[in-house]
Structure 1
């Protein structure tokens, strides 16, 4: 009986057969949503293995070719991503291998990798800590203009409205005027008790869960340091959401919100300043959403590096 391998050369491959009248080259052809295991170091030396969704694409430069070698794409993704830790250099090697496997068909390649990275974050005041799952998206491409690599993630934070805070303070002042006559001397103990009562906080400013969707492009040779990026952005905002929370942590979070009143525009400028100060970042785009508790719609702002160079979205 013949081995299966002995018959492989006889099997037709209609995808690569020439068809002179197909009519056009194609920008990108490939697969998306490939289920893959990946290894990633977020910047703390802890290489985690995660379940990822991967996209792999090449252009189809020859107008007379019907298709590409999708099995070659899949096997290369598995060979590199399953066994090697994601880095800029590794992704460069992978993209060159993809183009070599399609040298008769393509001159551009790109891959996308999407997964969640677990990172342990400390509590604000107590000795506890907890896990945050940060979404990670990595986009890498290789073409005539060279190698490009973008890293994306989300930062979730709390935003307290400055206008609402001012209106709340006014109502507290009015309540104070009702409860303490201007013509009578103030009693320290009475005022202290009043401040600790519900009358002392008759109105509260509204706050909402907010999201900064980050996409950064690093300079050549810079590591994909996710934790450093998160630390920089979360510190600039002052109110990232928490994991383990005791009362002392909740009180510290309330203080952080009161000390970091911000409109969506304020948050955008804070992040812009923080990322501009990072020499390892060549370009960035950020979309901020303040998911309003007052309105049924969101407040949104976009901000970028404004270098005058080609946009990161290009």
Structure 2
């Protein structure tokens, strides 16, 4: 006895739907040469107003083409095309969002130590009558030291110096060195905060591989104060030096990234958002920028 298919019936009200599908599908992915546990959101438009629904199982089964395969724009395009082929007459647009965290080895600044760091990412594919587009989203952590706080700390150190050496015409070099090494000398330090760069990148039509590692490396090199993993004291000292010589407001970080991403191969446009999680205030400092990203606010 054949099983009943209620999807063959008509909906009580005729209407097209912009998106129908599934969210949160577990899927093994491979990104930057590394396997990871990913999640997929998959769907198609329902353009036939009289159709009861779509064939969700066909979308689910098509995702197997991505399982444990290196994720590329071409493979993403292939799956989206299969979505539409399996919904001929019902759908004109297909959508696929893939989420996860790529785990990369990151070396210490000076010592031979290294550790692992996770970078949240999303890959979003769209196939419409106008064509195929792929986007890459990344969140990258870094440290930021406030320039204003650094200037105020230096001022306090100068005032303490005037107080401790008042009346002296000159200061012995060794005495000065000893003073600088005491807590009484360095009476104030600038405040730093753990910060985040959130990137949304439109990939070029001819890009063959997802530039995940390339973008992460460029962002961390541009900002100069990437969050560390395994460290020794020599690495912590080098990190303190990097922060001290690389002061930045959120505006500074956003401008640096804007310039760097415009020069990044494979990127056709972007929106970026940097967040400095203030250690002075209970709120965050935020800056946005965009390039070649029409139709949306920055």
TM-score bucket of the superposed structures, by smaller chain: over 0.9
The answer to whether 1:92 aligns with 2:77 is yes
Distance 2:266 2:179 in 1: 52
* Gap runs ≥5 in structure 2: none
Partner of 1:32: 23
Distance 1:279 1:226 in 2: 11
The answer to whether 1:226 aligns with 2:212 is yes
Partner of 2:9: 17
What are the superposed Cα offsets for residues 153-200 of structure 1, whole Å, 9 maximum, x if unpaired? 111011100000000000000000001125432111111000000022
Partner of 1:148: 133
Q: Secondary structure at the match of 2:15?
A: coil
State whether residues 284 and 312 of structure 1, in contact with CA within 8 Å, keep that contact through their aligned partners in structure 2.
no
Q: Secondary structure at the match of 1:242?
A: coil
Partner of 1:127: 112
What are the superposed Cα offsets for residues 4-45 of structure 1, whole Å, 9 maximum, x if unpaired? xxx5xx2222224334x51310000000001111122x2xxx
The answer to whether 1:242 aligns with 2:228 is yes
Partner of 1:3: none
Q: Secondary structure at the match of 1:49?
A: strand
Residues 245 and 287 of structure 1: is their aligned pair in 2 closer, same or farther, counting only changes over 3 Å?
same
State whether residues 285 and 312 of structure 1, in contact with CA within 8 Å, keep that contact through their aligned partners in structure 2.
no
Partner of 2:190: 205
What are the superposed Cα offsets for residues 85-138 of structure 1, whole Å, 9 maximum, x if unpaired? 210111111000010011121010010111111100111011111111111111
Distance 1:62 1:173 in 2: 74
Distance 2:297 2:121 in 1: 17
Residues 16 and 269 of structure 1: is their aligned pair in 2 closer, same or farther, counting only changes over 3 Å?
farther
From 267, 273, 284, the counterpart of 2:270: 284
Q: Secondary structure at the match of 1:199?
A: coil
Partner of 1:167: 152
* Gap runs ≥5 in structure 1: 1-6
What are the superposed Cα offsets for residues 290-311 of structure 1, whole Å, 9 maximum, x if unpaired? 0010001111111111x36455
Q: Secondary structure at the match of 1:168?
A: helix
Q: Secondary structure at the match of 1:104?
A: coil
Residues 52 and 210 of structure 1: is their aligned pair in 2 closer, same or farther, counting only changes over 3 Å?
same
State whether residues 144 and 225 of structure 2, in contact with CA within 8 Å, keep that contact through their aligned partners in structure 1.
yes
The correspondence of residues 186-197 of structure 1 with structure 2, limited to 5 A, is 186-197=171-182
> What's the TM-score once normalised by structure 1's chain length?
0.91
The answer to whether 1:101 aligns with 2:86 is yes
Q: Secondary structure at the match of 2:27?
A: strand
Partner of 2:41: 55
The answer to whether 1:69 aligns with 2:55 is yes
Task: Measure how far apart 1:49 and its partner are.
Answer: 1.7
Distance 1:17 1:80 in 2: 31
Distance 2:185 2:86 in 1: 71
State whether residues 136 and 151 of structure 1, in contact with CA within 8 Å, keep that contact through their aligned partners in structure 2.
yes
> What's the TM-score once normalised by structure 2's chain length?
0.96
Distance 1:195 1:166 in 2: 17
The answer to whether 1:215 aligns with 2:206 is no
Task: State how many pairs are aligned.
Answer: 297
Partner of 1:4: none
Q: Secondary structure at the match of 2:198?
A: strand
Residues 283 and 170 of structure 1: is their aligned pair in 2 closer, same or farther, counting only changes over 3 Å?
same
Q: Secondary structure at the match of 1:200?
A: coil
